[in-house]
Structure 1
Amino acid sequence: MLRVLHVLLLVGSISDVSCKFDPIAFSYRQPDYTFSTAQVVPYSTRVTNHNHASFTGGIFTCTKSGIYKFQIYGNSYTSARIFLEIYRGSSLLATLYGHANGDFATAGNVVILNLHSHDTIKVTTRGTYPVRLSNTNLNTFTGVEMGSLFLEPEFGYRIFPAFSATADHHQNIAGGDVVQYHNELVDSFKAFNMSDGVFYSPSGGYYIFHFFSGTLSNNSVSQQHAELWLDLYQNNQYVCSIYAFTDFDWADAGNTVILKLTQGDSVSVKSHAQKPNHLYGTQDHIYTTFSGAQLISDEDLGDPDSYPVVVFSVGLTYNLTLPNGATLVYTKVFVDHTNNYDPGSGHYRILISGVYEFNFHCLAETGKAVNLRLVKTGGSLLSEIYSHRVNHRSMAGNAVVVELTGGEEVYVVVYKETNFLVGGLREVYCTFSGHLLYAAQPDEIVG
């Protein structure tokens, strides 16, 4: 979280002290494994554990009260299932499900929560069906402390804008209508309107947004040939989309973007124009989620003593065919605070050594695989996405927290096979976003 905390301390007299926010953050992976009963997914392979995150046996235990974000992604073997649930203690928060006969399935979800010390977060298998997870790099559990409480004399404890809402009911949504949500996980500024499904920015700054959903063919709310096609809007302007399609099975998709908002801006998820969506949801099947948080405010951006700000988000706006080993060059720049994304090479150059969070998503053409890797200078693997459906388009995403050194570059490359990626001016599915969580050397700027 790119944030300066102004803490007012009473020690004889009141003084204003600025301090760097050093978050708890982690990323773990789950090796290939078959779960035959309901159990906690252990996520035994560590990618990053910053600031001594308490993570044991797949369970994260909060050691410092604050607002946290958790991201879970999974991928199954051919014809196998993903059926994962995110829990705080014994309370179900969100669900991941994927299954495709004769093919691979992928799923993901994101929640933001206000946690207290000793609260626990875990991912479990449902147990209704055996769950067989595939490639280690595709099954991930990432957590980030977004921000902590700080004291102001007139208002007491105050926190930054953050929200997370979920849907636990079936929805039939007409084309162009806003998706509705039923459960509020957190809304620190009361800026998300549960009655209309819209987030209204209480202050200007950079914000990160995540939205996910799922639809099930041939059930009580969706007939055969179910299509999931949702768009994110800032005010009345289109931003990006998620897409999935199924004949007799499950369709799941999600996306992430970072935007620059002004006070009063609205952000919402809508059914694609003239494309009604039949979203699946019950109290124990929670696939549709919408979450967002302010990364840094305009006030802090204008503070010369503010913590270093590194934030970018880009997308693909046309169809693109890339061979194995090629770099994905994104054509739409949503934000790039330091202008370090190179639109010629597709590389993002790291200015400051520290801990970063990255998100990337993409959609492949019908019958083609999306098989991409996020790498750094020299080709070292940071994260990976994969999905394939014989008769339909396939979408996948992933997230990672990683430590990087100033001067390194990060970029997305095609892995193993030619990728036929989907994009358009109003069909932005392929996105790549990142931001600095903590600067190891705040004064270091690599020219």
Structure 2
Amino acid sequence: MPSEFSYVAFSLGQTNHLHLSHGQLSYNRVITNSSAEFDSLGSFVCHKPGLYAFHFFYLAQSHSGTWIELFKNTKYVCSIFGYTAHGYADAGNSVLLHLNEDDAVSLKVHPSYSTTIHGTGHVYTTFTGVLLNPDEPEHPYAKEFFSVGLSHGFQTHRGEIVRYNDIILKSNENVFNTQTGKFTAAVDGSYIFHYHGLSKTDQVVYLNLYHNDRYINSAYGHTHGSFAYAGNTVILHLSRGDQVYIKARSNHEIGLFGAADEVYTTFSGSLLAPISYDSPSEISFSVGLSHHFSSTYLIFDRVFSNQGSNAAALNLAAGDTVFLKSRTSTHSYYAEPDQIYCTFSEYKLKLAEDLNIGNQGITSIRGEPEEQTQIRVNVAVERVKGEIELLRMRSGISKQKNANIDEQMIVDLKTKATSRVLEILLSMWKLDCEKEEKKRRQTKPRPKVSEQPISTRTEDRAEIVDPKVINLSNRSLNEAEINLLSKGLKFTPTPNESNPQDLTTDIKEYTRKLRLAEYFHSDDDEVNITETSLVKNKSNFNPKKGRNALLDTVCDTLESLSTEDNTPKNKRQHNLLKSEENAIKSLLNDDSIVIKEADKGGAVVVMDAE
């Protein structure tokens, strides 16, 4: 019978700066722990035999490095290394291992190298492990997996396939061919692949992953004067006979570092679920970025698979979301359709309680009688129906509550709006009254024009002498004044002709002042050439040309304006009669009247000043 949990998963993190010269690494942050156990030194100890995937990533500070090795019990498996003279250097690796009960997996600092880990409260350094396939007879499908490495250097510029020679683990002899460097799928299904590499000093690691002849994604790294790390992950939907392999980028000089006891360049893959068992319990996706991108939230546009250079295992509830987010919106990500470096992959580990609802057309739980499973399903269905009905009731109550709130909000808004409108209208009315009162006080007093009693005056009589002129004053308007006022208060009379001689005189005086300013100018003493002496006659001195070429050009240009023919080609036509021009003077000099434009209709109104 399977145990209570058919999966084991953990993710640990380190948030502190660490400086280590030897010994085993420890972690102070537990991100996820589902049935995983550790000893006192921090090693993962297996209590459920099966196929495990391990991922470990680190970040080193400037002018420091990281050299970490992964061990299964006392056997060396693989390494990571990172160093940079400026900024930060990251490093990571992945490996698949088969563990028996009480086997231990640990991460240790290389004894001949001082390792520094960067923290500052953020989780850059992680260690993740998951049980992919348990050693249980009830496991429904065959296992397909491999994990290989490069234990020697690799140099090419011709875009060769990387032929990994170090077999860390494989499910059978045919799953990975070391002669061709290719993995071949034995069954249709969803597979996950991880690949990592470390360049030689001051060289480039530039690897591409291919599905048959189709490019999938890339890993690139280069550090000036040091080693460089790169890696990537993808989940692919493969058919039987499909091949997956790693190829060096064409037309680039690629140099990968490797040695018998220093395996940094690895390639691992595993079957997640075959097609016949694809179901809601087998959920996975893998996406990438195929164009340049600058924003806070990463939006991937290339889908590698969709079944329903750090790593983490997470416990998620229904409705939880997981996404990648930049620390700042100024970060930019490089990508092209044939250069995909930024990826995001996820898969769901299978639970013992998961139903195998697939192409087989059955509903069952392994190790449980079918009748008992059906009862479980019926109970679950009724529970779901009850939850749905409860949600509907809550929704109805919420809608009614929201409707009442909306109605009250509308009433409140109407009340506030009405009050505000009245307040604005009163304020405008008060302002208009103040303006009129101010105008009334500033009006000049009208001289007395008649000693006759008020009762005999014609104040109350409105004389409409023209459709556009209304006379409310005691003054009688003549024909010229009426014609003038009928043109409206915005009418502009033709201006008088300018005198060319005045222009010539003004320009000569101005250029003389410019030459005097230049002649008497001193950095230590400013001369005021506009000041008129009280004891001397006004000087006619005018400095000669030739002292300043730029000033001569300016003055000549100005003086040329006065010599041009300023005589108008066509004599300007006046738009007023002589009598109407005299009417302007007469109306302007009469302080007993006020002339305004009517509020409506555009007529001109003549009123008494008092």
Question: CA RMSD for the aligned pairs?
Answer: 2.5
Give the partner amino acid of 1:260: H
One-letter identity of the residue aligned with 1:142: T
Alignment match of 2:264 (pick from 276, 280, 287): 287
Indicate conservation of the 8 Å contact 1:160/1:189, yes or no: no
Does 1:163 find its partner at 2:149?
Answer: no
Q: Are residues 267 and 21 of structure 1, via their aligned partners in 2, closer, same or farther at CA, if it must alter by over 3 Å?
A: farther
Does the CA-based 8 Å contact 1:28-1:140 persist in structure 2?
yes
Higher strand fraction: Structure 1 or Structure 2?
A: 1
Is 1:424 matched up with 2:336? yes
Aligned to 1:415: 327
Structure 1 segments of 4+ aligned residues over 6 angstroms from their partners:
18-21, 443-447
Offset, 1:256: 0.4
Q: Are residue 183 (structure 1) and residue 166 (structure 2) matched?
A: yes
Query: Is the Cα contact below 8 Å between 2:5 and 2:352 reproduced in 1?
Result: no
Aligned to 2:458: none
Mapped pair 1:404 → 2:404: no
CA contact (8 A) 1:20 1:307 kept: no
Is contact 1:107–1:252 with CA below 8 Å preserved after alignment? yes
Partner of 1:329: 299
Q: Percent identity?
A: 28
The 1-side partners of 2:280 and 2:127 are apart by 27
Q: What corresponds to 2:133 in structure 1? A: 147
How many Å apart are 1:21 and its aligned residue? Answer: 7.0
Q: How does 1:356-395 map to 2 (within 5 A)?
A: none
Residues 56, 333 of structure 1: alpha-carbon distance in 2 compared, 3 angstrom cutoff: farther
User: Does residue 196 in structure 1 map to residue 180 in structure 2?
Assistant: yes
Q: 2:290 aligns with which of 308, 311, 317?
A: 317
Once the two structures are superposed, residues 191-248 of structure 1 have per-residue CA deviations (whole angstroms, 9 ceiling, x without a partner) of 011222110001110000000001122xxxxxxx411111000001000000011221
Shift of 1:328: 0.6
TM-score, normalised relative to structure 2? 0.55
Residue number among 62, 68, 72 corresponding to 1:78 in the alignment: 62
Q: Give the structure with the larger helix fraction.
A: 2
Q: How many residues get paired?
A: 356
* Structure number with bigger Rg: 2
Separation in structure 2 between the aligned mates of residue 409 and residue 41 of structure 1, nearest angstrom: 31
The reply on whether 1:433 has 2:345 as its aligned counterpart is yes
For 1:207 and 1:19, locate their aligned partners in 2 and report how far apart those are by CA, in whole Å. 25
2:34 corresponds to 1:62: no
Whole-angstrom distance in 1 between the partners of 2:97 and 2:36 = 19
What SS is found at the alignment partner of 2:228?
A: strand
User: 2 CA distance for matches of 1:207 and 1:53?
Assistant: 27
Work out whether 1:236 is the aligned partner of 2:209: no
Does the 8 A contact of 2:203 with 2:255 survive in 1?
A: yes
Under a length normalisation based on structure 1, what TM-score does the superposition of the two structures give?
Answer: 0.75
Contact 1:229 1:242 in 2 (8 A): yes
> What is the Cα deviation at residue 439 of structure 1?
5.3
Structure showing greater relative contact order (alpha-carbon pairs closer than 8 Å, 6 or more residues apart): 1
The alpha carbon displacement at 1:405 in A equals 1.3
**Structure 2 letter corresponding to 1:239:** I
The residue identity in structure 1 corresponding to 2:290 is T
Q: Is the CA contact 1:150–1:157 (under 8 Å) kept in the aligned structure 2? A: no
Deviation at 1:128, TM superposition (A): 2.1
State the alpha-carbon separation in 2 of the partners of residues 244 and 20 from structure 1.
44
CA distance in 1, matches of 2:210, 2:161: 10
> Does the residue aligned with 2:310 lie in a helix, a strand or coil?
strand
- The letter of the residue matching 1:57 is L
Identify unmatched segments of 5+ residues in structure 2. 356-379, 389-610
1:32 equivalent in structure 2: 16
Gaps of 5+ in 1: 1-6, 8-17, 218-224, 339-396
